[in-house]
Chain A
Amino acid sequence: MSAIRINQLRHTYAMKNKTVTAVDDVTLDIGDNEFFTLLGPSGCGKTTTLRCIAGLEQPTSGSIELGGVVVVSDRVLVPTHRRDIGMVFQDYAVWPHMSVFENVAFPLRIGRKLRRAEIAERVEQALDLVNMSQYIDRRATQLSGGQQQRLSLARALVRQPKVLLLDEPLSNLDAKLREQMRSELRLIQQRIGITTVFVTHDQVEALSLSTRIAVMSGGRVVQEGSPREIYLEPNSEFVANFVGATSFVAGRVLSSSPVALTVGTELGTLSCRPQPDVRTGASAIVALRPESLVVTDKPTQGDNCFAGEVELSLFVGDGVDYRIKVGDQSLRARGSARVQFVAGDTVYVTAAADDCVVLLADPDGAEAARDATDVAAGDVESDR
């Protein structure tokens, strides 16, 4: 059974006499105990979608079901406080006038009548779950950012809701803490088995946490699939570029069969991962992940080996980021930290056929993706 069913959700609003469509015909089916991620650049509609699920935003049309109960449709609009949800906000939203205990107890106190002892017990359990029991008597304002976010998570879970909504919960934390919270979030979610919808613009978070990802752009879901599918088999230039840094090479399909696919490009002929729906003669774009390119000082035996010149070489600790010029084409590559080529060196770049993913050309999506990666790349950079 699906825990959340979103059908043809649309959200439009007026801004300066223009109608802006934030969410455009989104249909999603999220199963029980899934960790479902809405991934996309800022302004892609992922947060609005989440807020519609929470009832903090009224969609213009479409319907939403939570656990089989219709909460939004043409005829029904269940207000937020009657939806069986728990939500964690980007800026924690911890009430500064309450203690840690009071913050977590709030959802229990305002709802059904529970005995004091029971409230106390459940608050302790929730705080235990996020490793915050020792702070139970603190004032909320005395907590650090990471602690506030844990508190916020405990508060969202204490009612034992059907659905947990996470609105970029990690983005305000510093890099170290974010990594730690990331693993903990996944552990907690697995332990209590709660359906979770997670909104993020960070591909690493999305890939590492999710059971399923929907990549959004311009209010639409561009691709939906498991993290592996999203990363290894992006269906568009946008997804390939947004999820991980990618170099794109334009070309034309030379031959296509169930076992082999070759594309003629500026680099030369590329053997690519076979794909059923690609026809010979079609114009195509080949996506190359930096980490799948092998950089060597001597040519390798085998397909897809090209000579190039190092333009830029940045040592980043666990590897070296290169920009390598092959013909007129600039490729991003990630080399081992053991050897570092410097700008001007002649090197050889090799890509395994399985790592060359053919995308059908879509100029619009590519444009959007380039804008988006500026944002995402900035975030990734600050992580390191």
Chain B
Amino acid sequence: MTDLSIRPPQAPPARPAPVRRRRRGRPSVQGVVNAITVLVLVYLVIGPILMLLLASFEDTTAGVTIRPPFPWSLTNFTGVLGDAQTYQVLGTTLLFAAACLLFSFVVSLVFAWLVERTDLPARGLIYVLVVAPTGMPGVISAIAWGLLLNPTNGYLNVALSSVFGLHGHGPLNAYSLPAMIFVQGLALVPLTFLLITASLRNMSSTLEDAGRTSGAGPWTILRKVSLPLLRPVLIGAGIYQFVTVIEAVDIPLVLGLPGHVTVFSTEVYRVTHPAFGLPDYGASSTYGILLLALAVAPLLIYNRTVRRAQDYATVTGKAFRPRRQRLGRWRWVAFGGSLLYAVVSFILPLFVLLYASLQPYLGPISWATLRNVTLAGYRKTLSSGLFGSSLEHTLVIGLAASLAAMVLSVSLSWLIVRSKSRFTWMADTLAFIPHAIPGVVIALAVMLIYLMLPVPIYGTVWIIVVAMATQYISLATRLTTGGITQIQQGLEEAARASGARPSQVWRHVLLPLLRPVLLNGFLLVFLASIKNLTLPLMLQSSDNVVISTLIWNRWDYGDVTGAAVLSVLLTAVTVTAALVLRRLSGSEEI
């Protein structure tokens, strides 16, 4: 799937619904399934939003009230909006997001151009190296950079100090906004790069050739032809990544909190999980509403602009082999730079984690410490009961969330693509909304719901499953809608005309044809769910610790070796899985 992440691929214009429909006899099975799908989605998607609104517009000093009479009040908003700190957090969040996007898009554009349009040596290798960090969870790269750049004994800081003969704190500080921007920006590069290369590859180079034959130089073509043609992709990817940045808890938590750099997502976490005292759900819901508004605004703008997307219809089409720009003597400079980038973005953090996991305690790298290499950390961590149970929780959550997301999204996609029901637009919107809700907001709302409702899943793995299924509905639906769109309607109709009942059409025709898409989607959601720190952390209790929260807890507790051991293991799993998935499906949305 090379398309652009925001909207699911548009279904071909469905046969319009008859004006007047007569009800005859009992409702069809398909109708019941459609209704259930929509109801479950309304519950999963609209429920949290209502909960947030309720909690934020109430006086919550005595907790959240879910039955009338509601103590309506604007105290939460006056409190939050009247607090100067809110605006500071807002400013930091916007600055953080803008800088991350700028950094990652510049890097991605340069690499995309080098790989797709120049004679860079070993382009395949560079491609893989740029994409490889996709598998690395944010919390782990944050920990790695914490190890490298922390002011007291970060490996890089120590190395730089000794080279330049500095004393005291190292010259670089991991616990600062620039470091957060750097690490988060690096984390955004793989997906951004994939989206841009995919679209650059589909963009017929004849469009560029036409510019060339009109007398334009390479620089003019880049400015006047290539970049404008890429604009829809750039805007789409930009908005997607914007939501990614503002919803993520991991990097701001690991690198921001020690240096007192707070963004909205960490603020929500801090208020709901105070070090002492009771959590203030009213204030956190209000933050959640603000964060939601922040995420939704650009999406609305995007949907307004995307209507003009047809203007760019020529972008796709059978591309000729593009003529590659000759880099001349810059060729090897570019190659060296690319390798350096790969080392910094991926190999160095991995190496540091590996090293730290083999050391009994955190210290500078030297010949002496190399002799201290020990597997004791592995033995200790892997033999602990907590590791066993968190591994189990991770697998249960991953499997259950991906299964739930796939089942829901398949029946939702069918509704979107095939149904002539009046409620199709509702399904379409429902599938789209979770995309715009930051994970930390989903977690908060889900937490509130199950604190209040008499459904006993609060504090269990199942509350995390519910939150993850909600969060990944959009991702899964994008895949399944694409999959169903590609199945000609005639194949279903032929089965019906051959005497197959709706259930038989599903079993014998639709599901077998969708199998690759379903498998791909399942793995994708599974991978995303085991990498996710935000949801399990927000919903954490002593009974539902997963690997990602365990890593954070070890790190927070000061057990660097334990955190490093777990990070190495999880990264090995996720990076391998991501590469296998890419190989398997050519998917670009890992």
Do the beta carbons of A14 and B499 come within 8 Å of each other? no
Q: How far does the Cβ of B8 sit from chain A's closest Cβ, in whole Å?
A: 22
Q: How far does the Cβ of A103 sit from chain B's closest Cβ, in whole Å?
A: 9
- Of the candidates B488, B501, B512, B513, which one forms a contact with A81 in the assembled complex, judged by CB atoms under 8 Å apart? B501
Do the beta carbons of B24 and A76 come within 8 Å of each other? yes
Do the beta carbons of A89 and B494 come within 8 Å of each other? yes
Q: How far does the Cβ of A344 sit from chain B's closest Cβ, in whole Å?
A: 42
Q: How far does the Cβ of B535 sit from chain A's closest Cβ, in whole Å?
A: 36
Do the beta carbons of A74 and B497 come within 8 Å of each other? no
Contacts beyond the supplied A14-B17, A56-B497: 17 A-B pairs with Cβ under 8 Å: A13-B16, A13-B19, A55-B496, A60-B19, A81-B497, A81-B500, A81-B502, A87-B494, A87-B497, A89-B490, A91-B490, A93-B490, A93-B493, A95-B495, A96-B513, A106-B500, A107-B500
**Complex CA–CA separation, A165 to B496 (angstroms):** 13
Do the beta carbons of B494 and A155 come within 8 Å of each other? yes
Do the beta carbons of B17 and A155 come within 8 Å of each other? no
Does A335 touch B at the CB level, under 8 Å?
no
A sample of 6 cross-chain residue pairs with beta-carbon separation below 8 angstroms, ordered by A number, consists of: A55-B496, A87-B493, A91-B488, A93-B494, A95-B491, A110-B508
- Can you list the 3 inter-chain pairs with the closest CB atoms, starting with the nearest? A93-B490, A107-B498, A87-B497
**Complex CA–CA separation, A74 to B500 (angstroms):** 24
B residues 491-524 with Cβ under 8 Å of A? 491, 493-502, 504, 508-509, 512-513
Q: How far does the Cβ of A266 sit from chain B's closest Cβ, in whole Å?
A: 45
- Of the candidates B20, B491, B495, which one forms a contact with A60 in the assembled complex, judged by CB atoms under 8 Å apart? B20
Do the beta carbons of B494 and A74 come within 8 Å of each other? no
Q: How far does the Cβ of B52 sit from chain A's closest Cβ, in whole Å?
A: 35
**Complex CA–CA separation, A76 to B22 (angstroms):** 10
Do the beta carbons of A58 and B18 come within 8 Å of each other? yes
**Complex CA–CA separation, A54 to B496 (angstroms):** 9
Q: Which of A61, A95, A156 has the most B CB atoms < 10 Å from its CB?
A: A95
**Complex CA–CA separation, A69 to B434 (angstroms):** 48
Does A85 touch B at the CB level, under 8 Å?
yes
Residues of A within 8 A of B488 (CB): 91, 93
**Complex CA–CA separation, A15 to B16 (angstroms):** 7
A residues 80-104 with Cβ under 8 Å of B? 80-82, 85-87, 89-97
- Of the candidates A110, A155, A159, which one forms a contact with B504 in the assembled complex, judged by CB atoms under 8 Å apart? A110
**Complex CA–CA separation, A82 to B55 (angstroms):** 52
Residues of B within 8 A of A14 (CB): 16-17, 19
B residues 146-205 with Cβ under 8 Å of A? none
- Of the candidates A57, A75, A152, which one forms a contact with B494 in the assembled complex, judged by CB atoms under 8 Å apart? A152
Q: A11-B18, A13-B16, A15-B16 are in contact. Are A107 and B499 (CB under 8 A)?
A: yes
Does A111 touch B at the CB level, under 8 Å?
yes
Does A12 touch B at the CB level, under 8 Å?
yes
Q: How large is the interface on A (under 10, 10 to 19, 20 to 34, 35 or more residues)?
A: 35 or more
Does B28 touch A at the CB level, under 8 Å?
yes
Chain B residues within 8 Å of A, Cβ to Cβ: 15-22, 24-25, 28, 488, 490-491, 493-502, 504, 508-509, 512-513
Does A43 touch B at the CB level, under 8 Å?
no
Do the beta carbons of B497 and A156 come within 8 Å of each other? yes
**Complex CA–CA separation, A80 to B15 (angstroms):** 17
Q: How far does the Cβ of A72 sit from chain B's closest Cβ, in whole Å?
A: 10
Q: How far does the Cβ of B15 sit from chain A's closest Cβ, in whole Å?
A: 7
**Complex CA–CA separation, A180 to B256 (angstroms):** 75
Do the beta carbons of B20 and A12 come within 8 Å of each other? yes
A336-373 near B? 1/0 per residue, CB < 8 Å: 00000000000000000000000000000000000000
Do the beta carbons of A77 and B24 come within 8 Å of each other? yes
Q: How far does the Cβ of A183 sit from chain B's closest Cβ, in whole Å?
A: 24
Do the beta carbons of A60 and B18 come within 8 Å of each other? yes
A47-79 near B? 1/0 per residue, CB < 8 Å: 000000011111111000000000000111101
Does A19 touch B at the CB level, under 8 Å?
yes
Do the beta carbons of A13 and B494 come within 8 Å of each other? no
B496 — nearest CB in chain A belongs to which residue? A80
Q: A13-B16, A13-B19, A58-B21 are in contact. Are A80 and B490 (CB under 8 A)?
A: no
**Complex CA–CA separation, A237 to B502 (angstroms):** 45
**Complex CA–CA separation, A15 to B420 (angstroms):** 12
**Complex CA–CA separation, A93 to B495 (angstroms):** 9
Q: How far does the Cβ of A69 sit from chain B's closest Cβ, in whole Å?
A: 15
**Complex CA–CA separation, A19 to B494 (angstroms):** 29
Do the beta carbons of B495 and A106 come within 8 Å of each other? yes
Do the beta carbons of A54 and B19 come within 8 Å of each other? no
Residues of B within 8 A of A106 (CB): 495, 498, 500, 508
Q: How far does the Cβ of A248 sit from chain B's closest Cβ, in whole Å?
A: 35
Do the beta carbons of B18 and A79 come within 8 Å of each other? no
A11 — nearest CB in chain B belongs to which residue? B18
Residues of B within 8 A of A85 (CB): 497
Q: How far does the Cβ of A226 sit from chain B's closest Cβ, in whole Å?
A: 28
Residues of B within 8 A of A74 (CB): 22
Residues of B within 8 A of A54 (CB): 493, 497
A284-300 near B? 1/0 per residue, CB < 8 Å: 00000000000000000
A109 — nearest CB in chain B belongs to which residue? B508
Q: A75-B24, A81-B500, A110-B499 are in contact. Are A95 and B19 (CB under 8 A)?
A: no
**Complex CA–CA separation, A19 to B17 (angstroms):** 11
Q: How far does the Cβ of B581 sit from chain A's closest Cβ, in whole Å?
A: 22
Do the beta carbons of A12 and B493 come within 8 Å of each other? no
Q: How far does the Cβ of A34 sit from chain B's closest Cβ, in whole Å?
A: 20
Do the beta carbons of A97 and B513 come within 8 Å of each other? yes
**Complex CA–CA separation, A87 to B22 (angstroms):** 25
Q: How far does the Cβ of B136 sit from chain A's closest Cβ, in whole Å?
A: 36
Q: A13-B16, A13-B19 are in contact. Are A159 and B498 (CB under 8 A)?
A: yes
**Complex CA–CA separation, A180 to B93 (angstroms):** 70
Residues of B within 8 A of A94 (CB): 494
- Of the candidates A13, A81, A86, A155, which one forms a contact with B18 in the assembled complex, judged by CB atoms under 8 Å apart? A13
Residues of B within 8 A of A165 (CB): 497
Residues of A within 8 A of B493 (CB): 54, 56, 80, 87, 89, 93
B13 — nearest CB in chain A belongs to which residue? A15
**Complex CA–CA separation, A263 to B500 (angstroms):** 59
Residues of A within 8 A of B504 (CB): 81, 110
Q: How far does the Cβ of B30 sit from chain A's closest Cβ, in whole Å?
A: 10
Do the beta carbons of A19 and B498 come within 8 Å of each other? no
Do the beta carbons of A155 and B16 come within 8 Å of each other? no
Q: How far does the Cβ of B11 sit from chain A's closest Cβ, in whole Å?
A: 16
Do the beta carbons of A80 and B497 come within 8 Å of each other? yes
Q: How far does the Cβ of A309 sit from chain B's closest Cβ, in whole Å?
A: 45
Q: A11-B18, A12-B19 are in contact. Are A81 and B490 (CB under 8 A)?
A: no
A residues 107-128 with Cβ under 8 Å of B? 107, 110-111
